[in-house]
Amino acid sequence: MIVLLRDKKFRFLDTTLRDGEQTPGVSLSPADKVEIATALSDIGVHVIEAGSAVASEGEREAIRLIAQAGLSAECCTYVRALPQDIDCAADAGADSVHLVVPVSDLHIERKMQKTREQVFSMAMNAVEYAKERGLIVELSGEDASRADMEFLRSLYAAGIEHGADRLCFCDTVGVLTPEATAEIIPPLCLAPLSIHCHNDLGLALANTLAALKAGASCCHVTVNGLGERAGNTPLEEVVMALEHLYKVDTGIETRKIYPLSTLVSRLTGVPFATNKPIVGTMAFTHESGIHAHGLFRDSRTYEPIAPELVGRTRRIVLGKHSGSASVKAALTELGYSPNPRQLEEMVKRIKALGDEGRRVTDTDVMAIADAVMLLECRPVISLKQYTVVSGTNVIPTASVTMQVNGKEVTGAATGDGPVDAALRVLQQSVAVAGDIRLEEYHVDAVTGGTDAMVEVTVKLRKDGQTITSRGARTDIIQASVEAVITGMNRLLREYHEKRSTNTD
């Protein structure tokens, strides 16, 4: 299979601007279409189906602009087997037409309310007329996967005799299987044959690859798999499957895939699923500690392709599965160099957030790192436990038990609120070690939501010396206590170090 595909040259017809725009809620302006068409041409797409010229003046304007843009890609437009459709395409300056003709009895009888003979005649007349108008013709069988194959083959053969340049097999409602595709396609390759798949049952990519293996030379695709219902075959997935799995040189500049995908997502207003292959948010994002550890040693352990190949970068998301290797890598990228003890504490806090169902952001990591790296390895003060009571008709009261210079100290205090009570009892409890005053207190919500990470910044003073300290937790009281104790430890340690120096 690899050998068969490797030696072939395939063409790509991108129908993002036609089939992709039929995604419910999507409507592109002519300027939008030109921007996307330019990006498609730059990436190496061979044919751009720019829309349906007969649909509106806006569509015709878009096709005219794309046709006049000097792009290397061929400008194509969708047409029915009707003279007015073909005239609109030719007058708009299109290079080619995707001439779509219903070929299943279901479509012929129910949708068109015609006979096979009538549709056959319409198709031949349309092919001849399009050639008279100077257009390249790709004759396409709509709902081909549910058609009578003898009728379809006869229509294809006659179409070529009447001047059709290319053929197209449309799996309109995504009911093909790779096994059926392998049998159906070879007898239909009477001229260059395209495969056009829809993803209703999730087989668009598999069927497209099966058709290319079986003899098709072109695939119809859309960026991000846009299209009606479940969408069309995604351009990015076909390209990378051919390039990476089958070693085919597609001619597509793969490093432009992600910028193209984000452009289309932005202009259409359709975000891609987070777990979408190649371009989804999570495609190159890792959390698991085991996975991350392997990635740092060799990215191939848990990635089939390097993210740089499609214009992306690898991301490590921290959470309850994160180990020290992934946390350390994230901290290094953010400019932190924790010692082993600090790293251990940071990992502990990140896992705790993950256990709460939180996704830990870079901002969270920075807040945690700032708080932890201010903690001292040999604290003068260590908190054993604290309790805060507050509520309606209750005076906010806090009690603590602390180790201060190796001695256990217990205290209680009231305040204007739970945080105030907690800070008052801390100040009272450390009085045996020195007079420390709280001069400033500031709170920032690091992340949004009711479970936001909060960062508390305090300014403390002792004997004319002032320091600033921080604490970061999801609990404002806990963050406040952490900030104050960290700052007190710094002040007391520096005070004792100065006394020791002066005594010497």
- Work out the number of other CB atoms within 10 angstroms of the CB of residue 359: 12
The domains spanning 8-268 and 285-372 adopt the same CATH topology: no
Which pLDDT belongs to residue 2? 38
Q: Which two tokens stand for residue 14?
A: 């991108």
Instruction: Write the class of the CATH domain 8-268.
Output: alpha beta
Rounded Cα gap, residues 250 and 310, in angstroms = 14
Length of the chain equals 504
Query: How much is the pTM?
Result: 0.71
Q: Which tens digit of pLDDT belongs to each residue from 234-269?
A: 999 999 999 999 999 999 999 999 999 999 999 999
Which pLDDT belongs to residue 461? 83
Q: What crossing angle do the helices spanning 340-355 and 324-333 adopt, rounded to 10°?
A: 100
Q: What residues does each domain of the chain span? A: 8-268, 285-372, 381-503
- CATH 3.30.160.270 matches 381-503: yes
The helix/strand/coil state of 407 is strand
Q: Which two tokens stand for residue 199?
A: 């993803």
Q: Averaged over 369-391, what is the pLDDT?
A: 74
When comparing pLDDT for 479 and 225, which is higher?
225
Rounded Cα gap, residues 195 and 219, in angstroms = 5
Which pLDDT belongs to residue 433? 62
Residue 454 reports pLDDT greater than 90: no
Please give the DSSP secondary-structure letter assigned to residue 463: T
Which pLDDT belongs to residue 437? 81
Please state the separation of Cα 371 from the chain's center in Å.
Answer: 31
- Work out the number of other CB atoms within 10 angstroms of the CB of residue 211: 30
Please state the separation of Cα 154 from the chain's center in Å.
Answer: 44
Q: Which tens digit of pLDDT belongs to each residue from 40-91?
A: 999 999 999 999 999 999 999 999 999 999 999 999 999 999 999 999 999 9
- Residue (of 98, 86, 93) closest to 14 by Cα position: 98
Q: For 285-372, CATH number?
A: 1.10.238
Query: Which of 60-64, 357-361, 425-429: highest mean pLDDT?
Result: 60-64
Q: Averaged over 297-303, what is the pLDDT?
A: 74
